[in-house]
């Protein structure tokens, strides 16, 4: 089973908060979550190189794997998961990304098994992850 979150390394709030919380949830689960794979997939592959992703996710947990790659393929993956993303000009020559803020839960077959919403309580998130790790749909 897997936990998948789409975001980007220049994200000011949602991504670092979610990855910090995800790292805590995995730690709270201990051995009961050892079979869970956790992935952070960029929606900004133009800036998020493999090195950038590895450095970024290592700030949160060694259990989270950063994924980036060819922009067309990364965006096709996001689209396949029903993820919303949009490049937004910040007016100062830079940009940010709007994106889905939910964590996706996938069962061992890779089928969609639920979500953890941004800001959902830690107790609820851990309960969902425990059910996912045990093989149940959340």
Q: Which mean pLDDT values do the consecutive 10-residue runs of the chain (138 residues) have?
A: 98 97 97 94 98 98 97 96 96 95 96 96 97 79
Per-residue pLDDT at 90: 94
The neighbouring-strand residues paired with 5 are 40
Domains of the chain listed by start with CATH number: 2-133 (3.40.30.10)
Cut 0.85: pTM above it:
yes
Per-residue pLDDT at 47: 97
Can you tell me the distance from the alpha carbon of 65 to that of 37, in angstroms, rounded to the nearest whole number?
8
The radius of gyration of the chain from alpha carbons, rounded to an integer in Å, stands at 15
Per-residue pLDDT at 135: 87
Per-residue pLDDT at 118: 97
- Burial 70-101, CB ≥16 within 10 A → b, else e: eeeebeebbeeeebebeeeeeeeeeeebebbb
């Amino acid at each position: 089973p897997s936990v998948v979150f789409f975001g980007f390394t220049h994200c000011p709030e949602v991504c670092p908060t979610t990855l910090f919380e995800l790292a805590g949830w995995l730690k709270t689960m201990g051995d009961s979550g050892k079979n869970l794979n956790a992935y952070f997939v960029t929606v900004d592959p133009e800036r998020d190189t493999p090195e950038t992703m590895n450095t970024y996710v290592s700030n949160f947990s060694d259990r989270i794997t950063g994924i980036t790659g060819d922009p067309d393929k990364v965006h096709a993956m996001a689209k396949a998961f029903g993820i919303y993303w949009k490049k937004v000009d910040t007016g100062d020559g830079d940009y940010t990304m709007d994106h889905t803020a939910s964590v996706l839960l996938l069962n061992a077959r890779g089928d969609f098994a639920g979500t953890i919403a941004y800001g959902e309580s830690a107790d609820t998130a851990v309960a969902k992850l425990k059910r996912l790790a045990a093989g149940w749909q959340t």
